[in-house]
Amino acid sequence: MSITAEIRPEDNRAQLSCAGGLLGFAIGGFFDGILLHQILQWHHLLSGLEGGRFGDLRFQILADGLFHLLIYVLALIGLFLLWRSRRNFAGHSGGRLFLADALIGFGAWHVLDGIVSHWILGIHRIRMDSEMPLFWDLLWFVVFGLVFIAAGWRLRRRGGIFEGGGAMPAAVAVLAILSGAAAALPPSQGSTVLVVFRPGLSPEQALVAIAGVDGRLMWSDSSDQVWAVALPEGAGVLDLYRDGALLVSGSPVLAGCLNWFR
């Protein structure tokens, strides 16, 4: 009697569950890195560490890049598992369970990041420039962590987050909208921001641009293109973009894109 190795359906279903969890976890990492590290620049991976190389912006950006590389690896593993379990994904309730596990994985990233990175290791907080960093940590922990895990768990157990009343979807929608609006706010007035000027702009021109918004120079890198500037209350960052800034931390990135073509 010949014996043939077969992959049992329950094995594929377990792989599908792992695929959803890993891809959701990876998307959570990308959401964190792209929004908070690059667009809003509220923190870098190692912003909470001081002294030596940790004070070098280039090292901080390198750490962010290595972090994204790790997330890419997790996403590729998730995609491989999804391909292995593609028949279960196409089967009855496969898509629903995959989405549920992805929501749980997305929330799990933010819970793990909050507990380990923010509170145990202290390598960064959600908003490094805030006078109430715990508020922002807890906001992210609840909105993007616990709420997404609860939504995924409900979707997995009951067949849909919109069944049995509208309290959960309404709460998710309201919290997501409020947190998104909060995330879009510029840095608090009177804070220190990082300004990246376009290549070719002389230090004298950068100083003129900073003086134009009544800013106070705190630090600049050796290339004289990255400047830390203390802005007074009511300062308009659009004037910095007009005078050659490519990026002002905490403000819309697209505002300075045309300066690349000067």
Residue 127 and residue 42 in contact, taking contact as beta carbons nearer than 8 Å: yes
pLDDT digits (tens, 9 = 90+) for 210-241: 888 888 888 777 777 778 888 887 676 778 88
Both structure tokens of 181: 């609006």
Where in the chain are all domains bearing CATH 3.30.70?
Answer: 192-261
Cα–Cα distance measured from residue 87 to residue 84, given in angstroms and rounded to the nearest whole number: 8
Q: What is the pLDDT of residues 113-172, one digit of tens each?
A: 999 999 999 999 999 988 888 999 999 999 999 999 999 999 988 755 444 444 444 444
Provide the Cα torsion 193, 143, 67, 156; round to 10°.
-160
pLDDT band at 180 (very low <50, low <70, confident <90, very high): very low
d(CA 232, CA 69): 38
Residue 205 near residue 224 (C-beta atoms within 8 A): no
192-261: what fold?
Answer: Alpha-Beta Plaits (3.30.70)
Exposure string of 19-37, with b = 16+ CB inside 10 Å and e = fewer, is bbbbbbbbbbbeebbeebb
At 96 the pLDDT is 87
> Quick one: CA dihedral 5, 10, 16, 20, positive or negative?
negative
Q: How far apart are CA 254 and CA 246, in angstroms?
A: 9
Structure tokens at 33: 């890195």
Q: What residues are paired with 228 via a beta bridge?
A: 194, 219
Indicate the DSSP class of residue 198: P
**Pair of tokens at residue 9:** 């359906």
**Rounded-to-integer distance, Cα 146 and Cα 107, Å:** 6
Rounded to an integer, the average pLDDT of 195-212 is 84
30-71 pLDDT, tens digit each: 999 999 998 888 999 999 998 888 888 889 989 999 999 999
pLDDT per position as a tens digit, 22-37? 999 999 999 999 999 9
For residue 58, the model assigns a pLDDT of: 86
Which regions of 123-208 does DSSP assign to beta strands (E)? 192-197
pLDDT above 70: residue 209: yes
Please give the Cα distance from 246 to 257 (Å, whole number): 6
